[in-house]
């Protein structure tokens, strides 16, 4: 939207021009909190003390979640491409795989604090080998639970900065906030627009939209479980969307009766003629979360082409993936699962090609092909660069 785009552009420019002072002004304007520049950085003491302010049950929960996330991340890393080279005649070609040097995590505020998102973003970055991990979040969102999760996950520094200003600060740097190479994490439309505008200055994971779930259910699925899973997704925010596809009209009627009227406008119940039709709709929507609450769901995985995450069976709600399954819950939204993936160790890795040639006569045909292409494109110095080395 032009209005949001223009507002974000002015915020980014203010941060670039006036740094920490602008961030403090935005904290007063948007968060209704008065900060001095020195207050933007959460002290090491505050991070340490946060653990003492949370319940033992919460600490146990984040430890359990972190173990699952780290285990999944380590298994993923084992299976990713690592450095490799192959020999082709006298040439050697291959790839280097390296982590980005620094990452900024954006942890949204708003209706709920999200310590789980701290774990789901920081731990894959750490396992990938990122050297410096920092975090920014709106001041009022930095509850003891969020700070305890940040300390546990290995965030080097935490900043009391929210919204588009936080994205600008991590992209361009301020007096107290050093710039990073890559920014990840969900946020409101202003945060998303800011990530779009700073892309190129830094890398970004995705442009997040409202949360969404699609459920395919048959008569084997408990009605109360379907109702709970639809409602769980709808409670994220007013723009969230939850969709049920089923061939069973009676099931849909039962589900409808138990939906909270206050969120029913976010929930859509659709009857389909068969499961093939349901999967056609799924692949059109390309949902963030897909629940297969059907008998023998593994048999249908081949039909899923586009989804951020797939949850198999009636004992696997999206909520388990939000917290303790292992894969990150930061997933593609707004149909972007058609061309992108959820946050993972791979998000933080980049590849460099490696090329080594020798000007041997056995490679003459390849050198001549390169020379011909350079001459055809009119690149005379490309041709000269090749000709002075061409195999004889």
User: Mind telling me the catalytic residues?
Assistant: 288-289
**Interatomic CA distance for residues 329 and 323, integer angstroms:** 8
List, edge to edge, every strand of the sheet that includes 289-293.
Answer: 267-271, 241-246, 212-217, 289-293, 309-312
- Is the Cβ–Cβ distance between 11 and 165 less than 8 Å? yes
**Interatomic CA distance for residues 361 and 221, integer angstroms:** 69
Q: What is the 3-state secondary structure (H, E, C) of 288-325?
A: CEEEEECCCHHHHHHHCCCCCEEEECCCCCHHHHHHCC
Nearest Cα residue to 170 out of 206, 149, 148, 194: 194
Nearest Cα residue to 245 out of 299, 209, 283, 211: 283
Q: Is residue 19 classed as helix, strand or coil in its secondary structure?
A: helix
List, edge to edge, every strand of the sheet that includes 91-99.
Answer: 84-88, 91-99, 349-356
**Interatomic CA distance for residues 294 and 275, integer angstroms:** 10
Nearest Cα residue to 386 out of 353, 376, 87: 376
312-337 exposure pattern, b = at least 16 Cβ within 10 A, e = fewer: bbbebbbbebbbbbbbbbbbbbeebb
- Is the Cβ–Cβ distance between 137 and 160 less than 8 Å? yes
Q: Is residue 105 classed as helix, strand or coil in its secondary structure?
A: strand
**Interatomic CA distance for residues 262 and 248, integer angstroms:** 25
- Is the Cβ–Cβ distance between 180 and 203 less than 8 Å? no
What is the number of other CB atoms lying within 10 angstroms of the CB of residue 368? 13
């Amino acid at each position: 939207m032009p209005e949001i785009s223009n507002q974000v552009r002015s915020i980014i420019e203010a941060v670039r021009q006036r740094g920490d002072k602008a961030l403090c002004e935005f904290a007063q304007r948007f968060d209704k909190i008065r900060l001095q520049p020195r207050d933007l950085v959460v002290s090491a003491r505050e991070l340490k003390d946060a653990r003492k302010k949370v319940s033992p049950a919460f600490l146990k929960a984040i430890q359990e979640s972190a173990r699952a996330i780290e285990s999944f991340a380590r298994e993923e890393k084992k299976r990713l491409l690592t450095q490799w080279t192959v020999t082709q005649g006298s040439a050697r070609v291959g790839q280097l795989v390296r982590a980005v040097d620094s990452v900024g995590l954006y942890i949204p505020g708003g209706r709920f604090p999200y310590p789980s998102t701290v774990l789901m973003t920081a731990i894959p970055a750490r396992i990938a080998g990122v050297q410096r991990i920092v975090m920014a979040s709106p001041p009022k969102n930095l509850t003891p639970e969020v700070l305890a999760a940040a300390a546990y996950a290995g965030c080097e520094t935490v900043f009391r900065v929210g919204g588009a200003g936080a994205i600008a600060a991590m992209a361009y740097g301020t007096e107290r906030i050093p710039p990073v190479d890559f920014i990840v994490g969900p946020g409101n439309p202003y945060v998303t627009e800011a990530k779009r505008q700073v892309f190129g200055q830094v890398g970004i994971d995705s442009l997040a939209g409202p949360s969404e779930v699609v459920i395919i259910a048959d008569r084997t699925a408990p009605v109360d479980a379907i109702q709970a899973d639809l409602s769980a997704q709808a409670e994220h925010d007013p723009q969230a969307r939850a969709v049920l596809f089923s061939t069973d009209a009676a099931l849909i009627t039962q589900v409808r009766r138990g939906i909270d009227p206050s969120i029913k406008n976010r929930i859509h119940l659709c009857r389909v003629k068969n499961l093939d039709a349901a999967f056609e709709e799924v692949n059109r929507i390309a949902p963030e979360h897909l629940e297969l609450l059907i008998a023998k769901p593994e048999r249908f995985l081949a039909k899923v082409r586009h989804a951020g995450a797939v949850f198999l069976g009636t004992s696997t709600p999206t909520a388990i993936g939000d917290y303790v399954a292992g894969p990150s819950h930061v997933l593609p939204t707004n149909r972007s699962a058609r061309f992108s993936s959820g946050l993972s160790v791979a998000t933080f890795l980049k590849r460099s090609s490696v090329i080594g040639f020798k000007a041997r006569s056995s490679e003459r045909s390849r050198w001549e092909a390169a020379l011909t292409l350079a001459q055809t494109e009119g690149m005379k110095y490309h041709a000269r660069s090749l000709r002075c080395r061409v195999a004889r």
